Amino acid sequence: MKKYLLATLALTAAFSGGVALVACGGDDTSPVTGNDAGKDVTTADSPATTDTGTDSPVVTDTGTDTNPPGPPAPPTLGAQLDRFGRPAINTALNHTFDPDTSDGGTKGTAKDKYNTDKAAAGWVAAYQPQFAGNLAIYDSLDSVCGNQPYAQADGGADRYKTLSSVLAGDKLWVNTGSTTCTTYLAVELNATGVVVNTDCGGRKLAYDVIDTTYSVVSGVGLSGFGDTIGPNATKTGGATFPYLSDPQ
């Protein structure tokens, strides 16, 4: 019995010594694999280290993207509601002297049709006869019939055909090569040889286009038919797009 106890103690001591020998040999240098029964030399976690470094400043990306996004797709256009042609043409020459009615009548219907008509190739045929009849009325405003531009004294029924045809082709013409813009209808005047010029024409907000329109159709020139209403400088004095001052 004593021998067995001593042998057991000796074996236990030897085994314990073996464990101590492994422990004193240092920690493993490679990840644990299999049933590694070894113990790390340092079992406690290392103390936390406070980060006292300075982060690098944020760098703004100023480079050019290889494939920058393109512009958004244009919106789908709805039905045409109006034209961007010469001002007052529809008002002054299209069924102007028809009687007014509460529901618009033929006058309102005709003007709406004119504004929504997108078939530019057919404008002259569609509206020239109506315009010619009304031009004859305007030609009498200064009591001198026949002094309206292009009125043909011996033209009979076609006396006002030329001007009515020009006005029925209702487009706003601009000379984009010019840097001087002072006169409404300048491009048309130059093209017909009435007033040779290099003005850009078009329609600046400061142009009194109504006075000019009624002066031309009444036969007194580019001015002279005044309605005593001039451009409102508080609304047309903008210097940047859309060139209009805030509403007053």
CA 76, chain centre distance (Å): 13
CA 22, chain centre distance (Å): 81
pLDDT for residue 50 is more than 80? no
Residue 231: asked if its preceding bond is cis (omega within 30°), the reply is no
Half-sphere exposure of 232 (CA within 13 A, CB side): 7
**Mean pLDDT on 119-124:** 94
Residue tagged 């024409």 (tokens) = 201
pLDDT at residue 55, as a whole number: 72
Residue tagged 């130059």 (tokens) = 190
pLDDT at residue 38, as a whole number: 55
Percent of the chain with pLDDT over 70: 72
The H or E element spanning position 190 is helix 186-191
For the record, the structure tokens of 52 come out as 């006292």
Phi, psi for 203 (deg, rounded to 5): -145, 95
Q: Where are the domains of the chain?
A: 89-230
DSSP for residue 48? P
Q: Which amino acid is at 230?
A: G
pLDDT for residue 141 is more than 50? yes
Please, which residues have CB within 8 angstroms of residue 188's CB and are 6 or more apart in sequence? 166, 173, 201
Q: pLDDT tier at 9 (50, 70, 90 boundaries)?
A: very low
pLDDT for residue 154 is more than 70? yes
Question: Which residue, among 106, 87, 84, has the nearest Cα to 96 in the 3D structure?
Answer: 106
Cα Rg of the chain (Å, integer): 46
pLDDT at residue 44, as a whole number: 54
Residue tagged 């009615």 (tokens) = 101
Distance CA 222, CA 88 (A): 15
Phi, psi for 63 (deg, rounded to 5): -75, 170
DSSP for residue 174? B
Question: DSSP 3-state assignment of 79?
Answer: coil
DSSP for residue 201? B
Question: Which residue, among 188, 234, 222, 180, has the nearest Cα to 204 in the 3D structure?
Answer: 180
For the record, the structure tokens of 83 come out as 């034209």
When mean pLDDT is compared across 52-61, 167-176, 203-212, the lowest value belongs to 52-61
Distance CA 231, CA 211 (A): 11
Distance CA 23, CA 46 (A): 20
Distance CA 10, CA 180 (A): 117
Half-sphere exposure of 63 (CA within 13 A, CB side): 5
pLDDT at residue 16, as a whole number: 47
**What global pTM score does this model have?**
0.64
Q: Which amino acid is at 164?
A: S
